[in-house]
A and B are shown apart, each in its own frame.
Chain A
Amino acid sequence: MFTLMRFAEWENPATNDLEWLIRKDGCMHCEDPGCLKACPAPGAIVQYSNGIVDFIHDNCIGCGYCVTGCPFDIPRISQTDHKSYKCTLCSDRVAVGQGPACAKACPTQAIVFGTKADMQAHAETRIEDLKSRGYENAGLYDPAGVGGTHVMYVLHHADKPGIYNDLPENPRISPVVEGWKGVTKTAGLAAIGLAAVGATLHGLFARGNEVEEHDVQSADALVKGEDPDHGGHV
């Protein structure tokens, strides 16, 4: 849920060749999760011992602070039940010894699942292979600013994460969120804190996909099972 395949068409200035930078954009399952830090509802966001960060919807109050707290802009509030959702890394499947569905389904094993140490070792072989094919800056994306992540990427150009549809170079939990459970708890500072959160929210939303109005309408129609062409144009 709320996992997107993103790709960027990037012209490599070193070679003048076009490259497609494809990224599975979803919850990174941070070791130090900003969403969990921001969440005011006890038990709504949990982190299991295996590293998976999960949302417990019965406890979610739909405040959206996790959206603000996430340095990767992942969680979204459902307009239907007003609770927050994101990729669970198939915590239910993992709990019974199965890997996540995406890894299971991927025909080319672009997504693999295992212990962090195994995955780091696997990444090493991938990086070595990419370097042998001319990608000198290939490397692992496992950013330290959030304590490392439990979803990691092998990037061809690990020196420039930003070219992968704005993958943050050094993701950090917003200082506002860091402070949320500390000093800003005092009533006097709350108003300032909220204003700052508002500003951050705006910044995040402004980075979303740009979609034309008629695309939204026809997508809505499609979801409702209506004729997407009704009233539209060719």
Chain B
Amino acid sequence: MTNPWTDIKNTDLAIVMGGNAAEAHPCGFKWVTEAKAHRGAKLIVVDPRYTRTASVADYYAPIRPGSDIAFLMGVIRWCMENDKVQWDYVRNYTNASYLVREDFGWSDGLFTGYDEEKRDFNKESWDYQMGEDGFALTDPTLQDPRCVWNMLKQHVDVYTPEFVENITGTPRDKFLDICAMIGECSAVDKTMTSMYALGWTQHSKGAQNIRGMAMLQLILGNIGVRGGGMNALRGHSNIQGLTDIGLMSNLIPGYLNIPTEKEVDWQTYLSTREFRPLQPGQTSYWQNYPKFMVSFLKAMWGDAATAENDWAFDYLPKLDVPAYDIMRMFELMNNDRVNLYFCQGFNPLLSIPDRGKVTAGLSKLKMLVVMDPLSTETSHFWQNHGAHNEVDTASIQTEVLELPTTCFAEDEGALVNSGRWLQWHWPGATPPGEAKHDTWIMAQIWTRVRELYRTEGGAFPDPIVNLSWDYADPGEPTPAELAREMNGRALAAVTDPATGAQVLQAGQQVSGFGQLRDDGTTMAGCWIYAGSWTEDGNMMARRDNSDPDETGMYLNWAFAWPANRRVLYNRASADMAGKPWDATRPLIQWDGAKWGGYDVPDIAPTADPSTVGPFIMNQEGVSRLFSRGMMRDGPFPTHMEPFESPMANVFNPRMRGNPVARVFESDVARLGNSDEFPFVATSYRLTEHFHYWTKHNRVNAALQPEFFVEISVELAEERGIANGSRVRVFGKRGQVWAKAVVTRRLQPLICDGKPVHVVGIPLHWGFMGAAKKGWGPNSLTPFIGDANTDTPEFKAFLVNIEPATEEPVA
């Protein structure tokens, strides 16, 4: 989230698209209720299903799963055409005026540079025209046909209301009503907040869905302001922390990159990370990258990381592929390339697509170690449960070890919420039975592995034997020790480069990432967490809920990264002179000498508004309506069909799904077509359950005891399915049996003149736990992910459905 949950109360219009906050985030949804009650805010829901969020919305419109980009580009077109634009913001705070290279273009659904063989774009032309001085060329009058604004206008021209209706199935009048409601928020005293979740991410073009709304928010001037923002409602209490701390295979903590094998040395690695400003005098904050990276390497290898050995850069693994994401891991398992798999706090048998492939992969392992508080489906993948897990146990030779871990309520530490707040919590119970903290298990394994390398050596033992492991009990680092390490501390005296004054003594905790250095005098495990545990103590444990003037910022409650800032890009809440756009909702302002206000300014405290642009994390100092080469599938979002869709791509019928999303060869034959599987399926969560955990709890299991699928009255009639009867839902990759819920919550959508039926599949059942046995949607979903993030396409795929005439033997 760019803004905290508590800020949603400041909005005038909440649009929930790609999520179902009332059901999946009921506690956070109270801030929408606040905004409705106290500001008279409106709520719009756009979703294939009429959800609980829709039931309290002012306006609901249905949409075909996987067609959100067409909807969003249509809204952008409508705003441009109807002058619903925050012009000062667009001209000054976005790259609307930047000139795009002459050789960039778009046709047949593809941007320039497409290589069908490689399934990739050559992105060279996706860039600005550059001046000889190295700065980007702009046309502040927005007259040049090559400026981003005019390129965008041209790009969205095709997304007329008629086009949007045809693609999305959203009735034109509803689409236009929503456009009008959104358009009002281009006024400086009206803001809209976008609340989305996995309904947008779990698509083969998920990142572009989010880009589409982010662009709309920029055009409306709604980024950086109170009651605005792009707000990703995370699906797990600490999934924000997971990405922060670098559990993505291509990232290290704080969104730094694991080097690729082309980055053979430290100099090469840094050469592509210069982040030179594209405007004179602009702050380009990522120019501090080496400070964060060196501090990370010092946290990893301590005294073994020196200037002479390039801070032990060679110790880092080098990626030979873009990422070892989870689908690649299961592909490798299926190819006999993985022997041992550690599965920690994760249930892939139900959460990775194409379950048949997951089972086949796990069956090829020599050993599977499952660390989990619960006895999961994954740890029992080899056990035959009839139709619910049809495996030949005798043929599976994988050895499975279950290591019971503690659950969150038995742990101490910080959870990072969607609003980037690190909130410290304390254990509420003693671990049962043999359950151990994850940290204990990992430390015990680690110390033994290190001992093996110490005594037996190996091809390259250095990164392992030299790893910094500076804990009072090497067998169990404490949460406090780990948190202090992530915050970072001085390893030698640290001085202010401007004045020469000493700011830190050796051993002192840094108070913020501004104190990190690239000369080896500081260490920090996760630079964005700097400031969370300072010399003043554990900032994450703060519980002061005072909120001067009720802005919703709560600066003394816990700690928000970065720098305790609550609203990202908050510099953009003020105009070019530094005065708040909306005097009734100030966030920060320029007093002629410095920035101050209710939030920690997202700009240097003394940066003059007339010289430094507000988006300091971009080299341009402005936000990007045109994203240059940052995304693999295009600098503007363009409509793409899901890989399995009832419709061909209207721009290019040959194009299946996202043209640059990775498809493993073995999966091509496992994709279905609409002649065989005519119905669109989508998956979702229910309020009574949390993922696959709560079915182990009898109360939750009693509240939602049984796997069901939802279908419309029309589809039920067409297929002869009675409400409450048993159905078989089947696709190219698998089949499930479920109880049919025939409901008006789902309606057939008319796309290109033909009805599209949607089958809704909730995700909470398996064959372990207290609830009745069932299946997850992953028995049916394709092994395909987003082109940028590899997030699986769980939200749009094809199935067929029929009354279950025969029941399988359970």
A234: contacting residue among B29, B42, B60, B807, CB under 8 A: B807
A18–B744 CB distance below 8 A? yes
Give min CB distance, A111 to chain B, whole Å: 12
Q: Does A229 contact B (CB under 8 A)?
A: yes
A219-B33 contact given A11-B744, A18-B745, A233-B810, CB 8 Å threshold: no
Contact A20 B55 (CB under 8 A): yes
A109 at the interface (CB under 8 A from B): yes
A132–B702 contact, CB under 8 A?
no
* A225 contacts the other chain (CB 8 A): yes
Give bound CA distance, A229 to B52, whole Å.
30
Contact A229 B705 (CB under 8 A): no
Task: Tell me the count of chain A residues lying within 8 A, CB to CB, of chain B.
Answer: 27
Contact B771 A228 (CB under 8 A): yes
State the Cβ distance, B383 to closest chain A Cβ, in Å: 14
| Contacting pair B55 A229 (CB below 8 A) | no
Residues of A with C-beta under 8 A to B773: 229, 234
Give B167 Cβ to nearest chain A Cβ, in Å. 23
Q: How far is the CB of A79 from chain B (nearest CB, A)?
A: 17
Q: Select one of A11, A17, A107, A222 contacting B29, CB under 8 A.
A: A107
Identify which of residues 99-133 in chain A touch chain B, using a CB-to-CB cut-off of 8 Å. 107-110, 125, 129, 132-133
Flag whether A232 is at the interface (Cβ < 8 A).
Answer: yes
Quick check: is A206 within 8 A (CB to CB) of the other chain?
A: no
A107 B27 Cβ-Cβ under 8 A: yes
A222 touches B770 (CB 8 A): yes
Partner of A9, one of B40, B42, B705, B744: B744
Interface contact B810-A234, CB-CB below 8 Å: yes
Q: Let me know if A18 and B27 touch, CB within 8 A.
A: no
* Chain A 215-234 residues near chain B, CB threshold 8 A: 218-219, 222-223, 225, 228-229, 232-234
Tell me the bound Cα distance from A222 to B704 in angstroms: 12
CB pair B810–A129 under 8 Å, yes or no, is: no
Q: B37 near A20 (CB under 8 angstroms)?
A: no
With an 8 A cutoff between CB atoms, is B58 at the interface? yes
Cβ of A212 < 8 Å from any Cβ of B? Answer: yes
Q: A129-B40, A133-B58 are in contact. Are A234 and B702 (CB under 8 A)?
A: no
How far is it, in angstroms, between the C-alpha of A9 and the C-alpha of B54 when the chains are bound? 12
The reply to whether A20 and B807 contact each other, CB–CB distance below 8 Å, is: no
B514: Cβ under 8 A from any A Cβ: no
| Contact status of A20 and B388, CB under 8 A, knowing A108-B33, A109-B33 | no
Q: How far is the CB of B802 from chain A (nearest CB, A)?
A: 15
A108 lies within 8 A of B26 (CB): yes
Q: Given A129-B36, A232-B810, is A218 in contact with B55 using a C-beta cutoff of 8 Å? A: no
What A residues does B33 contact at CB under 8 A?
Answer: 108-110
Chain B residues near A222: list those with CB within 8 A. 698, 701-702, 705, 770
Mark contacts of A40-53 with chain B using CB atoms, 8 A cut-off: 1 yes-contact digit, 0 otherwise.
Answer: 00000000000000
Chain B residues with Cβ below 8 Å from A17 are 60
The complex places the Cα of A22 from the Cα of B26 at a distance, in Å, of 15
Chain B residues 481 to 523 lying within 8 A of chain A, measured CB to CB, are none
A19 in the interface (beta carbon within 8 A): yes
B724 within 8 A of A: yes
Asked if B743 CB lies within 8 Å of chain A CBs, one says yes
Q: Which residues of chain A have C-beta atoms less than 8 A from B770's C-beta?
A: 222, 228
- Chain B residues with CB under 8 A of A233: 807, 810
Complex contact B743–A9 (CB within 8 A): yes
Interface residues on B, range: 35 or more
- Pairwise interchain contact B37-A129, C-beta atoms closer than 8 A: yes
Complex CA–CA separation, A206 to B55 (angstroms): 29
B387 within 8 A of partner (CB) = yes
In whole Å, how far is B104's beta carbon from the nearest beta carbon of chain A? 44
Interface status of B772 (Cβ within 8 A of chain A) = yes
Q: Which residues of B contact A125 (CB under 8 A)?
A: 37
Contacting B at CB under 8 A, from A172-231, are: 212, 218-219, 222-223, 225, 228-229
Query: A114–B807 Cα gap in the complex (Å)?
Result: 53
| A11 nearest in chain B by CB position | B744
A216 to chain B, nearest CB (A): 12
Residues of A contacting B726 in the complex (Cβ-Cβ under 8 angstroms): 234
A-contact bits for B683-717, CB 8 A (1 contact / 0 none):
00000000000000010011001100000000000
Given the complex of chains A and B, what is the CA–CA distance between A228 and B706 in angstroms? 10
Chain B residues, CB < 8 A from A132: 40
Contacts of B698 in A (CB 8 A): 222-223, 225
| Distance in Å: Cβ of A230 to nearest Cβ of chain B | 9
* Cross-interface CB contact of A218 among B27, B36, B60, B772, cutoff 8 Å: B772
B737, A234: Cβ atoms closer than 8 Å: yes
Residues of A within 8 A of B388 (CB): 234
Contact check, B772 vs A20: say whether CB atoms are below 8 A apart: no
Report the minimum CB–CB distance from A11 to chain B (whole Å).
Answer: 7
Residue pair A109, B744 in contact (C-beta under 8 Å): no
Q: Which residue of A lies closest to B810 (CB)?
A: A234
A221 nearest CB across to chain B (Å): 10
Tell whether B446 is near chain A: CB-to-CB under 8 Å: no
Whether A18 contacts B810 in the complex (CB less than 8 A), given A132-B40, A222-B770, comes out as no
Chain B residue contacts of A134, Cβ below 8 A: 58
For B701, the chain A residues whose CB sits under 8 A away are: 222
CA distance A19 to B388 in the complex (A): 36
Interface bits B729-748 vs A (CB < 8 Å: 1, else 0): 00000000100000111000
The answer on a CB contact under 8 Å between B55 and A228 is no
A118 to chain B, nearest CB (A): 16
Q: B433 within 8 Å of A by Cβ? A: no
Q: Of A19, A22, A109, A234, which is within 8 A of B30 by CB?
A: A109
Tell me which residues across on chain B come within 8 A of A229, comparing CB atoms. Answer: 772-773, 810
Q: Tell yes or no: B50 within 8 A of A by CB.
A: yes
Q: Taking the complex as formed, is B753 at the interface, i.e. its CB lies under 8 A from any CB of chain A?
A: no
Cα–Cα, bound, A225→B37 (Å)? 43
B contact residues around A9 at 8 Å (CB): 743-745
> Considering only CB atoms, which chain B residue lies closest to A110 in the complex?
B33
Q: How far is the CA of A182 from the CA of B538 in the complex (A)?
A: 71
A20 and B743 CA atoms in complex are apart in Å by 12
Assembly CA distance A17 to B177 (angstroms): 15
A19 touches B705 (CB 8 A): no
How far is A130 from B724 in the complex, measured between Cα atoms in Å? Answer: 34
Chain A residues in 8 Å Cβ range of B706: 218
Chain A residues closer than 8 Å to B428, beta-carbon distance: none
CB A36 to nearest CB in B, in angstroms, measures 32
* B458 beta carbon closer than 8 Å to chain A: no
What is the chain A residue whose CB lies nearest that of B26? A107
CA distance A110 to B37 in the complex (A): 11
Which residue of A has the minimal Cβ distance to B62? A18
Quote the shortest CB–CB distance from A223 to chain B (angstroms).
Answer: 7
The docked-state distance in angstroms from the alpha carbon of A233 to that of B701 is 17
**Bound complex: CA of A222 vs CA of B700, how far in Å?**
11
Q: Which residues of B contact A108 (CB under 8 A)?
A: 22, 26, 29-30, 33
Q: How far is the CA of A125 from the CA of B27 in the complex (A)?
A: 23
Residue of A nearest to B770 (CB): A222
Per-residue CB contact flags for chain A residues 1-34 toward chain B (1 = under 8 Å, else 0) read 0000000010100000111101000000000000
Residue of B nearest to A223 (CB): B702
Q: Does B281 contact A (CB under 8 A)?
A: no
Interface string of B30-52 (1 = CB under 8 A from A): 10010011001010000000101
B720 an interface residue at 8 Å Cβ cutoff?
A: no
A20 CB contact (under 8 Å) in B40, B52, B724, B737: B52
14 inter-chain pairs at a CB distance below 8 angstroms, sorted by A residue, are: A18-B50, A20-B55, A108-B29, A109-B33, A133-B58, A222-B698, A222-B705, A228-B705, A229-B810, A232-B772, A232-B810, A234-B387, A234-B807, A234-B810
3 closest A-B pairs (Cβ-Cβ)? A20-B55, A107-B27, A108-B33
Task: Please name 7 further chain A to chain B contacts, defined as beta carbons within 8 Å, in addition to the given A20-B55, A109-B30, A228-B772, sorted by A numbering.
Answer: A18-B745, A107-B27, A222-B702, A223-B698, A232-B810, A233-B807, A234-B388
